[in-house]
Structure 1
Amino acid sequence: MTVERAVFAFAGFMVLLSVALTHWISPYFVWLTVFVGANLFQFAFTKFCPAALIFRAMGLKHAGQP
């Protein structure tokens, strides 16, 4: 798995978790979905994401690296 795929998988999980928390706990959890979406949007342009740093530290490689 690459860093980029791990970021998208983690973001998808966080969106689903946020929707569940919004539905069952508090409507304010919708802001977690907004944060994840904004982070994905800026990651598409800058290739910087805090989760990507963690995945890189765990030993995952960027796409295209041997």
Structure 2
Amino acid sequence: MSTKRIFSGTSPVEIMGIKNLLESEGIECFEINKSDSSYVGLLGEIEIYVDESQVEKALTALKTYKSE
């Protein structure tokens, strides 16, 4: 299985919302948290990955999310 990063950010709340959106669209995703737990939101990012076969669908869902 090959995956691709489709989003990264510093807000755990935003990441959770995006993951919920993707999962509600039937898109499996996972996150890799590269943030420093001592400085949440300041150092490092949280990345969301999906399977390459679902990248187009995920990006379309993200465009809808960002336009709202």
State TM-score, norm by structure 2. 0.33
Larger radius of gyration: 1
Structure number having the greater strand percentage: 2
Determine which structure has the larger helix proportion and give its number.
1
TM-score, normalised to structure 1, is 0.34
> Comparing both chains, which one has the higher relative contact order based on Cα–Cα distances under 8 Å and sequence gaps of 6 or more?
1
